[in-house]
Amino acid sequence: MSGFESITSRSVALPIANIDTDQIIPARYLTTTTRAGLGQHAFQDWRWLADGSPNPNFALNRAENAGAQILIAGDNFGCGSSREHAPWALLDAGIRAVISTAIADIFRNNALKNGLLAIVVSPTEHASLLEGAGEAITIDLHTQQIRRAGHAPIAFAINAFARQCLLDGVDELGYLLARTDAITRFEGART
């Protein structure tokens, strides 16, 4: 995932607090041994009715939201399990950014490692974005701003290293492997 610059997309509101990883993808779909194809199960129990048909009341199922890449979620998004299947499922379902007033630590970490932006904004900014849900917004990783026509840009913080990894396509495993000598010295000093 290199060269991540900005996303411009319609936003979708999912203003529910504490959306946990079991909602993002239930445990029964974690039996896969690959990363692919989890998108159909993103928000499984909210998205599909018992007979397998789409729940017309669920925001992501509405025709006007087809192709939307930005999710505006309620407070404390992604709490619960460490399953990386959660960001894998969201990305596979076409979501590339989640905006909330708080995002759980492990989820945010997993998301950034996969190129899914996890952005925290203030409650006031969040309320304003929710109000404008359905409009096109731009998330610019370079300037660290959320832009929306007719509104002042919203600045967001993102961990500098994660940002650099996303912009330049830094491979974190490669970064760690490049420290092999330091790791060997550390091991040697302890035993």
Partner 1 sequence: MTATTLFEKLWQAHLVEADAEGLPAVIYIDLHLVHEVTSPQAFSVLRERGLRVRQPKRTLATLDHSTPTTPARADGSRDYLDAATEAQVNALIRNCADFGITLHGYDSPDRGIVHVMAPELGATQPGMTIVCGDSHTSTHGAFGALAFGIGSTEVGHVLATQCLLQHKPKTMAVNVWGRLPAGVSAKDLTLHIAGQVGVSGGTGHVIEFRGDAIRALTMEERMTLCNMSIEMGARAGLIAPDGTTIEWLRGRRHVPQGDAFEAAAQRWLAFRTDESAVFDRSIDIDATAVKPTVTWGTDPGKVVAIDAALPAQDGGNTRAFDYMKLQPQAPIAGARVDVVFVGSCTNSRINDLRDAADILRGRRIAGHVRMLVVPGSERIKRDAEAEGLDRIFRAAGAEWRQPGCSMCLGMNGDIAKPGELVVSTSNRNFEGRQGKGVRTVLASPATAAASAVAGVVADPRACQQEIAA
For residue 13, state whether it binds partner 1 (rule: CB under 8 A).
Answer: no
Q: Smallest gap, in angstroms, from Cβ of residue 186 to partner 1?
A: 5
For residue 20, state whether it binds partner 1 (rule: CB under 8 A).
Answer: yes
Q: Which is nearer to partner 1, 152 or 177 (CB)?
A: 177
Q: Which is nearer to partner 1, 75 or 140 (CB)?
A: 75
Beta bridge pairs of residue 54: 48
Q: Which is nearer to partner 1, 9 or 23 (CB)?
A: 23
For residue 173, state whether it binds partner 1 (rule: CB under 8 A).
Answer: yes
For residue 109, state whether it binds partner 1 (rule: CB under 8 A).
Answer: yes
Q: Which is nearer to partner 1, 60 or 137 (CB)?
A: 60
SS (H, E, C) the chain: CCCCCEEEEEEEEECCCCCEHHHHCCHHHCCCCCCCCCHHHCCHHHHECCCCCECCCCHHHCHHHCCCCEEEECCCECECCCCCHHHHHHHHCCCCEEEECCECHHHHHHHHHCCCEEEECCHHHHHHHHHCECEEEEEECCCCEEECCCCCCEECCCCHHHHHHHHHCCCHHHHHHCCHHHHHHHHHHHC
Q: Smallest gap, in angstroms, from Cβ of residue 163 to partner 1?
A: 9
Using CB under 8 A, list all residues that contact partner 1.
16-18, 20, 22-23, 26-28, 30-35, 45, 75-76, 79-84, 102, 104-106, 109-110, 113-114, 159-161, 164, 172-173, 175-177, 179-180, 182-183, 186-187
